[in-house]
């Protein structure tokens, strides 16, 4: 199983999440994103607005937003 990137650049993480259907709602101290699901519900996601995102933070973000590990890693490789 692949590992989450250790210090992932913020822009690459955002691009990966956009590939997975999320869009930025606002960007201040934190970045708020949301995805509209097929059934009309919304999945919110909040991440710190740091230049680099730690792997433990990425893991937590994916868990809370219900993003499978492999889906995120595949999107990260594409971005």
Nearest to 34 by CA among 69, 70, 65, 59: 65
DSSP 15-75: HHHHHTT-EEEEESSEEEEEEE-TTS-EEEEEEE--SEEEHHHHHHHHHHHT--HHHHHHH
Quote the CA–CA distance of 41 and 72 in Å, as a whole number.
20
Domain ranges of the chain: 7-78
- Residue 51: the pLDDT is 97
The pLDDT tens digits of the residues spanning 5-53 come to 999 999 999 999 999 999 999 999 999 999 999 999 999 999 999 999 9
CATH of domain 7-78: 3.30.920.30
Q: Would the pLDDT of 76 be above 80?
A: yes
């Amino acid at each position: 199983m692949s590992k989450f990137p250790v210090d992932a650049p913020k822009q690459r993480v955002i691009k990966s999440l956009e590939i997975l259907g999320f869009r930025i709602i606002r960007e201040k101290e934190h970045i708020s994103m949301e995805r509209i699901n097929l059934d009309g519900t919304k999945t919110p996601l909040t991440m710190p607005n740091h230049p680099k995102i730690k792997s433990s933070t990425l893991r937590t973000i994916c868990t809370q937003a219900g993003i499978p590990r492999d889906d995120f890693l595949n999107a990260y490789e594409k971005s």
